[in-house]
Structure 1
Amino acid sequence: MRRAVREFLEPVRFDELNVAVSGGADSLALTEATAHVGHRLGMPVRALVVDHRLQEGSARVAAEAAGLARKLGADTAEVLAVDVTGPGGVEAAARRARYAALRSALSGPDSVCLLGHTRDDQAETVLLGLGRGSGPRSMAGMKPLDPPWGRPLLQVPRSVTRQACEELGVEPWEDPHNADSRFTRVRLRTAVLPLLEEVLNGGVSAALARTAAQVREDLETLDFLAAGLLARARDGARLRTEVLAGEPAALRRRVLRRWLLDAGARDLTDGHLRSVDALVGDWRGQGGVWLPGSLVVDRARGRLAVNCREPEPKPEPKGE
């Protein structure tokens, strides 16, 4: 555990070192290792405990986790209480609330918050991406460093964090939600991955994590090439289609995705990108492509432009 954290921290210096602590084995073992390594590097460590307030007694559990983090070496520990609301179910709403609270607790751009995601979490993420057909970005899994988030344990099995807690003599808190089969990740963890391990004679989690690393390297290369192509195609806020037309479609769509995000587009799907790409690679004089947020991509005089306009209202049905 300490070696994984040391290899993560030594190449980069952070002004502030935070650890997200749930009270579970992953975050407790990470807290001890971070405090051990961080202090040797002259970096103070702060523990951040999010109280989702979804269960009776959650405030007590959060306070106990904060106290345990201090015993494991954290210089300070804070509890962040959140309200879990919004669309997408409890699992998604809790995740949004947790990340928002952690981000707001950071003091500046050179702060990092370490998360206890392990190799097993990475494998679950890759499987989710495969099952949903979300493309290579989801199959690439989680990045070790994705500021302000740091994940030193992506090559460490979950079993090692439990062994570390046993060696430290601490009793991790078991979140009841982690055994609730209503949640997709719980079913992946308790049913799908064990079955795959049995059918494929083991090593599945490690193989999926390796796949994520390989796909991520490929994506970073394609993104680098796309950035250069985007710079050549830009004409102010517009894009010159003749620069893009002769390029591979996969590279074009990466250029278009970055351009659209820069223009304020959100919630882009593969279908959106393919429709916009057809304005370049399959141009037949078709109309603009509507995107979420009342944005539309138009082609005129060999240029693509993003415009904001309200859709035309549908005509009222005529009476009999």
Structure 2
Amino acid sequence: MNRTARLVVLLVTALVLGGIAVGATLHAAGRAAEKDRQQAGGPAVTPGRVRLDDPHRALFRNMAWGPHRDEITAVPDDRLAGPRTSSGVRCLRFHASAGTGVCLRAVHGQLRDTYRAVVLDDRLRERRHYELAGTPTRARVSPSGRTVAWTVFVSGDSYAGTAFSTRTSVLDTRSWHLDANLETYALSIDGRRVHTADINVWGVTFADDDHFYATVATGGRTYLVRGDRTARTLRALHRNVECPSLSPDGTRIAYKKRVAGADPDAPWRLYVLDLRTLRETATGEHRNIDDQAVWRDDHTLVYSLPGDYGSDLWTVPSDGTGTPHRLVGAALAPAFIR
């Protein structure tokens, strides 16, 4: 064998061995990743068709690491920890009702990220989008699907302190009329108009297409307010209420309440307010809750707590009985289709 032939053989051998090594490495890495996922209890996620009008499915943002992280996924309503069907639609905050969805998402740019609110139809196709002035934090859709709302942090990134500013918008998806900032609504507390410059509004929850509840902060206090889109008014009902969530029967509000003696960085506990009597009930969840809870039904609350993947969903009865338990791991922003 001449010198040229030997070089060719050596080159071919090196390429073959290199390919085998790369293949073995990738195979081992894949097996290791799968093993890590199984050991960590990571859920099975596969792409497929997801709809917003299927009453037998629940929806949430998938938080498990992998190619489908942050995508809205669907699971059987009676088996939330079961296999997930991923939609391919990524959202930071999400909510849906009656075939309408709202997705608050990041738009990645070369210099910085921006944020956008996207209105989705029943097949998660974009209908319209709106640029956001800050970081997404809350999103809701009215029971009929006609009206949507979202809140962003314009400055600051936590409700725990006082150095933050929010902007909350409400959109009619029939007329596409946008109330871009609910701070322009007329606010009354104890029957008096309030005109202070420190007003913040966040955490809308809808009673119907034109009426809603939300949190207003001013003068160092927070209030539950009832909003009227037609009259453009906010009327305070009760103090020390944040991130309200109206029960399906419209009689109670689940909310975050600041409790005396708590850590200033973790001040909230989960309460329920009876709107007829204004009687407060502490739930069986005694940990700090920084979320806008969702009602799974008229008696059960679902909310997020930190988990191995960033967030898990937990549940507790709304009447103060029972103890909390983890409902599903690696999930955030649930929507239960009714």
Q: Which structure shows the bigger proportion of residues in strand conformation?
A: 2
TM-score over 0.5 for the pair: no
TM-score (norm 1): 0.25
Q: Which structure shows the bigger proportion of residues in helix conformation?
A: 1
